[in-house]
Amino acid sequence: MTAPSTALKFSAIAERIGITERTSLTTHPDLDPEILSVAAVQTAIAGQLSYIEGEKFAPLVATTAASALILPSQQPELQAQATERGIAWLSTADPRLGFARAIALFYTPFRPAPGIHPSAVIDPSATVGHNVSIGAHVVIQAGVIVGNDVCIHPNVVVYPGAAIGDRTVLHANCVIHERSQIGQDCVIHSGAAIGSEGFGFVPTASGWEKMEQSGITVLEDGVEIGCNAAVDRPAVGETRIQRNTKLDNLVHVAHGCAVGQGVAMAAQVGLAGGVKIGNRVILAGQVGVANQATVGDGAIATAQTGVHGNVAPGEIVSGSPAVPYKLYLKASAIYRRLPDMHQALKKLQQQFKG
Amino acid sequence: MTAPSTALKFSAIAERIGITERTSLTTHPDLDPEILSVAAVQTAIAGQLSYIEGEKFAPLVATTAASALILPSQQPELQAQATERGIAWLSTADPRLGFARAIALFYTPFRPAPGIHPSAVIDPSATVGHNVSIGAHVVIQAGVIVGNDVCIHPNVVVYPGAAIGDRTVLHANCVIHERSQIGQDCVIHSGAAIGSEGFGFVPTASGWEKMEQSGITVLEDGVEIGCNAAVDRPAVGETRIQRNTKLDNLVHVAHGCAVGQGVAMAAQVGLAGGVKIGNRVILAGQVGVANQATVGDGAIATAQTGVHGNVAPGEIVSGSPAVPYKLYLKASAIYRRLPDMHQALKKLQQQFKG
Amino acid sequence: MTAPSTALKFSAIAERIGITERTSLTTHPDLDPEILSVAAVQTAIAGQLSYIEGEKFAPLVATTAASALILPSQQPELQAQATERGIAWLSTADPRLGFARAIALFYTPFRPAPGIHPSAVIDPSATVGHNVSIGAHVVIQAGVIVGNDVCIHPNVVVYPGAAIGDRTVLHANCVIHERSQIGQDCVIHSGAAIGSEGFGFVPTASGWEKMEQSGITVLEDGVEIGCNAAVDRPAVGETRIQRNTKLDNLVHVAHGCAVGQGVAMAAQVGLAGGVKIGNRVILAGQVGVANQATVGDGAIATAQTGVHGNVAPGEIVSGSPAVPYKLYLKASAIYRRLPDMHQALKKLQQQFKG
């Protein structure tokens, strides 16, 4: 499934992922299989490396056909079990991170060769760095600045005055609107629209009057934006997403939002206008955040939550409208019993009258 | 509105849709109007064929100007009524299916002529079948396999190593990512992204570390993906959508999901990572399914439902978090009475104290 | 941030926005600063014009560094305060509207020069008006009619038989499907799909059978459609959005919907098939409206509302399933107290038994 790659000795992998705590090699120096590829533990076969994390997957140490495993250092019983089954292993506090690094040893992401396809249309006033890859039918308009080592896949359109930082990747058919500032090491996935016009209309007696969106969208370094997502620019000032923040597919960020560093937003999250999201916030899938709401550093909103007003730093919220997560667990459990409660209450009322 | 077409005798239509049980022609052989086109029953005029299904539309037999109707065989009173009004009719257990087939008699979907537009950029290492239509500005990259009779509309981008099965249609501006396998007779609608990188980031002390998405996305035969939808590929293994499953616009399918056969997902549904959806499941609009959740064969989730954990085969669920549909109906009806319940409870407490 | 522009005297701005009620110039004719640009009140600096609207921002009159303000006529105390601080001001009943017009004085939206890029592929049977701008790699297919002064950004695809009214703007990578009728002065944002196939499948014993979507999508004059939104065409008849209706990003409008005039739908709203939306309706973010539901003129649904059945004209609804807004406020407040209610009820039951 993955691209062909050279086999690696397990010992070499253990060394290269750089976060090993212990390995089976200290006790079984001969147990150093050749690893051909990586796989999920449920489907791994001989010659493959996998990992175990969480209660759901721990029992699979007993049955997996993997030749090697990355195991949690917190569960020495799994290590013993693997040893018994002749599976090579290494342990780490974060097996998923170890596995991520192991994948990278076997997988070379597709990257077009440097060069500018002759069908790309690049305005003479644009500035293009060195070692870039600009695909077929790309359109780069007046005054755009493209950094070094940038990769622009086919059919991307960059409107005038935008800037694309070094090493940033723009996937096919995404659109970067006028004056957007995209940092270094960003990834904009297919079909995403960055810096598009905010939804600015003022109600008047004769209908909606457009408020021009003269601001800009700024994505700082290391930001990723998912497929078919949209990050609008505001009427004045900027919409800003700070460094290393990751947005999944189909996320909407409205005009004037300020999103902190290291934030993760799962698919189909929507931020209304002027929302402020702190650093390291996690918004799960389909969360909505209302106009001008504020979410503090490190807060979490679980899936489908509707946030209004303010969420305190570190708070976990759920439900629509959002309430603290623990309260939500209780209230939603009781919600299931509402018919019973209703009956019980009616009965009490009758008993009391009687 | 529809493209011009030849008129058809009602008797010819009745024969060609192939699911007729009875028609008015047996009792009224002269009642065989020429049908020029098809229309919804509310707007049909003389010369048009329409259909009746459901309580809401049954009364319209009395007023429609349609010249012919497809009627439910279960409601002979509607047939009598149509006969009385001089409307030709045929009856079937599934009028909507009959109407679907009638539409197909009058409507020729747009399909570009075979041929490869000179502006398309096709890598010499790609393999292209016969009788294909490849539109303007299409980009087909290294090693791609395009089957026979495939239709690729303008501005589509196919990344390296993808395979597109026979007769599949890729609408304008969709993107097929590296190594994706798309079956025969699929339709990918405009702007959809298939096989894009899953949202894989591991939290570390220094921020999100990317987990490369080395897996692939597989769409089996007869799958349709709506406009601007996204079906991601996983870190390892595959995201798979089985045959004849249909996804509406703006649906998100995360990395590693396994979706069964004959499933329907309405618009804006979102599946988180590793979700398993059984065969013939129906997910209504804006449903969300959480990480690793499982939905059994034939289950249904009504609109905006939030599914966590497991849904049993055949179960109907609603609400967020999801509960059985019948419970949801009761609980949500009582939700409206919560203020009254709260008052009643307070009164009882006071009475009891007094 | 905005494009450079000429400075304007405050008095000239006051005159040109056309909705001034009073200005500080009548009492302080010398207080007529040169305004270089516009900004939000929190960030405005000397030489900038801003506005004040709402309780949240009123206190900022005391601290803003703006040289001039648009103030609400209803709050004369703010005018006095501004005067005292030497800030020039004008007052109006609708400061946001005034500010919108002020932005337009300083901002020239990007608009490509008229002309047809040589890489655009225009079918010889298409009709193209005068003074159009058609960007690189645009594809315009057979029989399309493009009005005067239309602007089509790069990589747009227009399928056969569509019509684009005068002055309409199609942003990059949007797709206009066959036979769609787009009015004058519309804006279709990047990646949107107009007139795509409705999600029409009839369940049969052997799986989903496609119902061809022979109808069309009609957007009347002044309609705006957000980035990556989708407006499907129906099996028969039309999907219609009436004049001056505005849809935000990622909105889904299914086959056969009828949307009135002056409607606003915020991001990620979804309308199922056959929905009817009255005039001047407002649907906030992530609202879903179920099959065949009807929303009356002037109704409002707050964020994440799930509408089934009918919403009366002028009604405000919230929650999923939707209830009247005032009831929602009460019921959702009590929802937070469900655990307490449950406890209280159990206690009462025990007390009563005892």
Query: B160 in contact with A at a CB cutoff of 8 Å?
Result: yes
Per DSSP, B58 falls in state G
Q: Across the interface, do A304 and B323 touch by the CB < 8 Å criterion?
A: no
Average pLDDT of span C299-312:
97
pLDDT tier at B1, thresholds 50, 70, 90: very low
pLDDT tier at B19, thresholds 50, 70, 90: confident
Q: Across the interface, do B352 and A349 touch by the CB < 8 Å criterion?
A: no
DSSP letters of C286-313?
Answer: T-EE-TT-EE-TT-EE-TT-EE-SEE-T
Residue of C nearest to B348 (CA): C348
Residue B42: C-alpha distances to residues B53, B57, B65, B147 (Å): 12, 8, 9, 43
Give the pLDDT score at B352: 79
Who has greater pLDDT, B28 or C276?
C276
Buried b (16+ CB within 10 A) or exposed e, B194-208: bbbbbbbbbeeeebb
Give the pLDDT score at A2: 43
- In C, residues 70-99, which contact A (CB 8 Å cutoff)? 94, 96-97, 99
Helices (H), chain B: 10-17, 76-84, 95-106, 325-335, 338-353
In this predicted model, what pLDDT tens digit does every residue of A12-42 receive, in sequence order? 999 999 888 899 998 888 899 999 999 999 9
Nearest-CA distance A298 → chain B (Å): 12
Q: Across the interface, do C173 and A155 touch by the CB < 8 Å criterion?
A: yes
- In A, residues 242-271, which contact C (CB 8 Å cutoff)? 250, 252, 254, 256, 268, 270
Average pLDDT of span B83-105:
96
Chain A partners (3+ C-beta pairs within 8 A)? B, C
Query: C330 in contact with B at a CB cutoff of 8 Å?
Result: yes
Query: C224 in contact with B at a CB cutoff of 8 Å?
Result: no
CB of C239 closer than 8 Å to CB of C277? no
Alpha-carbon gap, residue B267 to B224, rounded angstroms: 13
Give the pLDDT score at B329: 96
Q: At residue B5, does pLDDT exceed 70?
A: no
Give the pLDDT score at C351: 85
pLDDT tier at B92, thresholds 50, 70, 90: very high
CB of A242 closer than 8 Å to CB of A260? yes
Q: Across the interface, do B159 and A320 touch by the CB < 8 Å criterion?
A: no
Give the pLDDT score at A103: 97
- Which residues sit opposite A51 in a β-bridge? A70
- B10-17 helix and B95-106 helix, angle to the nearest 10 degrees: 120
Question: Which of B36, B137, B110, B187 is CA-nearest to residue C162?
Answer: B110
Query: C121 in contact with B at a CB cutoff of 8 Å?
Result: yes
Alpha-carbon gap, residue B88 to B98, rounded angstroms: 15
Q: Across the interface, do B121 and A137 touch by the CB < 8 Å criterion?
A: yes
Chain B partners (3+ C-beta pairs within 8 A)? A, C
| C319 contacts in chain A (CB < 8 Å) | 320
Catalytic residue IDs of B: 255
pLDDT tier at B354, thresholds 50, 70, 90: low
Residue A245: C-alpha distances to residues A94, A290, C42 (Å): 21, 20, 25
Mention every residue, 6+ apart, whose C-beta is less than 8 A from residue C94. A202, A204, C19
Average pLDDT of span C34-40:
96
- In A, residues 20-49, which contact B (CB 8 Å cutoff)? 38-40, 43
Express as a percent the part of chain B with pLDDT over 90: 92
Q: What is the ipTM of this complex?
A: 0.96
Query: B292 in contact with C at a CB cutoff of 8 Å?
Result: no
Q: At residue C6, does pLDDT exceed 90?
A: no
Range(s) of chain A covered by CATH 3.40.1390.10: 8-106
Mention every residue, 6+ apart, whose C-beta is less than 8 A from residue C346. none
Query: C54 in contact with A at a CB cutoff of 8 Å?
Result: no
| B94 contacts in chain C (CB < 8 Å) | 202, 204
Nearest-CA distance B204 → chain C (Å): 32
Residue C2: C-alpha distances to residues A97, A204, C52, C105, C106 (Å): 43, 26, 21, 12, 8
Alpha-carbon gap, residue B292 to A40, rounded angstroms: 14
Average pLDDT of span C306-311:
96
Joined tokens for residue B221: 């035969």
**Counting beta carbons within 10 angstroms of the beta carbon of residue B354, is it exposed (0 to 12), middle (13 to 18) or buried (19 or more)?**
exposed
Q: Across the interface, do C214 and B106 touch by the CB < 8 Å criterion?
A: yes
Buried b (16+ CB within 10 A) or exposed e, C62-76: eebebbbbbbbbebe
Query: B329 in contact with C at a CB cutoff of 8 Å?
Result: no
Query: B282 in contact with C at a CB cutoff of 8 Å?
Result: no
CB of C307 closer than 8 Å to CB of B320? no
| A136 contacts in chain B (CB < 8 Å) | 121, 137, 139
Residue of C nearest to B302 (CA): C290
Q: Which residue of the set C153, C171, C252, C255 is catalytic?
A: C255
Nearest-CA distance A204 → chain C (Å): 8
pLDDT tier at B52, thresholds 50, 70, 90: very high
Q: In the annotation, is A189 catalytic?
A: no
Alpha-carbon gap, residue B175 to C354, rounded angstroms: 70
In this predicted model, what pLDDT tens digit does every residue of B264-281 receive, in sequence order? 999 999 999 999 999 999
- Looking at residue A102, its amino acid is A
- The SS3 assignment for B95 reads helix
CATH code at B115-329: 2.160.10.10
Joined tokens for residue A291: 């106009």
Give the pLDDT score at C19: 83
- Looking at residue A123, its amino acid is D
Mention every residue, 6+ apart, whose C-beta is less than 8 A from residue C123. C140, C141, C142, C143, C144, C160
Give the pLDDT score at C2: 43
Per DSSP, C58 falls in state G
Of A199, A236, A348, which has the smallest distance from its Cβ to C39's Cβ?
A236
| A173 contacts in chain C (CB < 8 Å) | 155, 173, 191
- A10-17 helix and A95-106 helix, angle to the nearest 10 degrees: 120
Range(s) of chain B covered by CATH 2.160.10.10: 115-329
pLDDT averaged over every residue in chain C = 95
Record the pTM: 0.96
CA atoms within 13 A on the CB side of A354: 7
Q: Across the interface, do B100 and C191 touch by the CB < 8 Å criterion?
A: no
Give the pLDDT score at C248: 98
Residue A305: C-alpha distances to residues A328, B230, B285, C68, C303 (Å): 11, 22, 17, 40, 11
Question: Which of B227, C226, C227 is CA-nearest to residue A225?
Answer: C227
pLDDT tier at C114, thresholds 50, 70, 90: very high
**Gyration radius of chain C over CA positions:** 26
| A348 contacts in chain B (CB < 8 Å) | 348
Joined tokens for residue C273: 């098939």
CA angle centred on C173, ends A304 and B160, rounded to 5°:
85
| Mutation target vs B (from A175, A228, A332; most B CBs, 10 A cutoff) | A228
Q: Across the interface, do C286 and A290 touch by the CB < 8 Å criterion?
A: no
pLDDT in tens, chain A (354 residues): 344 457 999 999 999 998 888 999 988 888 999 999 999 999 999 999 999 998 889 999 999 999 999 999 999 999 999 999 999 999 999 999 999 999 999 999 999 999 999 999 999 999 999 999 999 999 999 999 999 999 999 999 999 999 999 999 999 999 999 999 999 999 999 999 999 999 999 999 889 999 999 999 999 999 999 999 999 999 999 999 999 999 999 999 999 999 999 999 999 999 999 999 999 999 999 999 999 999 999 999 999 999 999 999 999 999 999 999 999 999 999 999 999 999 999 999 888 776
Mention every residue, 6+ apart, whose C-beta is less than 8 A from residue A208. A201, A202, C244, C246, C262, C264
Give the pLDDT score at B3: 46
- Tokens 């009758």 belong to A350
Q: Within 10 Å of residue A80's Cβ, how many Cβ atoms?
A: 12
Query: C208 in contact with A at a CB cutoff of 8 Å?
Result: no
Of C106, C136, C286, which has the smallest distance from its Cβ to A121's Cβ?
C136
CATH architecture of the region A8-106: 3-Layer(aba) Sandwich (3.40)
In this predicted model, what pLDDT tens digit does every residue of B119-147 receive, in sequence order? 999 999 999 999 999 999 999 999 999 99
pLDDT tier at C18, thresholds 50, 70, 90: confident
Q: Cα C255 to chain center, whole Å?
A: 21
Nearest-CA distance C185 → chain A (Å): 12
DSSP letters of C113-126?
Answer: PSEE-TT-EE-TT-
Give the pLDDT score at B351: 85
| Mutation target vs B (from C175, C247, C340; most B CBs, 10 A cutoff) | C175
